[in-house]
Amino acid sequence: MSEERQRTLYGRRRGKKLRAGQEALLDTLLPRLLVSVPPEPQKIDPAALFGGACEIWLEVGFGAGEHLVWQAEQHPDVGLIGCEPYMNGVAKCLAHIERTGVGNVRLFTDDARLVMGALPDQSLSRAFVLFPDPWPKTRHHKRRFVQRDTLDILARLLKPGSELRLATDDPSYLPWMVEHACTHPAFMWLAERPADWRSRPDDWPPTRYEQKMLAGHKPVFLRFRRV
């Protein structure tokens, strides 16, 4: 197995006990939406996942799925792949999918690097990495998702002119994100003034996590173009 395909997750997979309805969604709806990683050297076929989708977007760590499902509702002609290993969040996302009836979302419930390693080159038109675990202790910085190797993979997957969106509320992760993404030759930061990254773009909806957990914190919203 290649380095890209190795599972490098840290942290828990489950939290408090799920309700019966949530467990039922994991048993019935999730299998219909799951993305499978084929054995190497095969690649995932996005057309087979979404049919006639005009674009494919990827969200890494979708939390409870509110942003993912909102984007699916607003862009019904786009296929969205959401990656989230925390099964309590997956169950909440499934509830949003069932409630809204969106049909253009597919889910991967393991390390996002696995599905990234199996996607074809230049298959994505947008990627989101929103509020990843900051791993604030210095000895844990190697666990941060935003690293040169993951940016290399995203650069391979994103089409020229497409967009990478990063967000964090952690003061130590912001300079890390900016340094790693801005020094990567494949990405150009789109901010021209502080308001461009301190203010939420119109097509970037707030989530319950942000409203509940970010009270007193100032999230930042970073947009980069694949050059």
Helix axes 87-100, 20-28, angle to 10 degrees: 80
Helices (H), 5-57: 20-28, 30-33, 46-50
Alpha helices in 29-143 (DSSP H): 30-33, 46-50, 66-74, 87-100, 112-118
Q: Residues 113, 4: contact at Cβ < 8 Å?
A: yes
Which one from 133, 149, 170, 202 is the annotated catalytic residue? 133
- SS percent in the chain: helix, strand, coil, step 5: 35, 20, 45
**CB under 8 A, 24+ apart: contacts of 182-187:** 184/148, 184/151, 184/152, 184/155, 185/227, 186/151, 186/152, 186/155, 186/158, 186/226, 186/227, 187/151, 187/155, 187/224, 187/225, 187/226, 187/227
Q: What's the DSSP call for residue 34?
A: B
Residue 133 is among the residues annotated as catalytic for this protein = yes
Point out the residues that are catalytic.
133
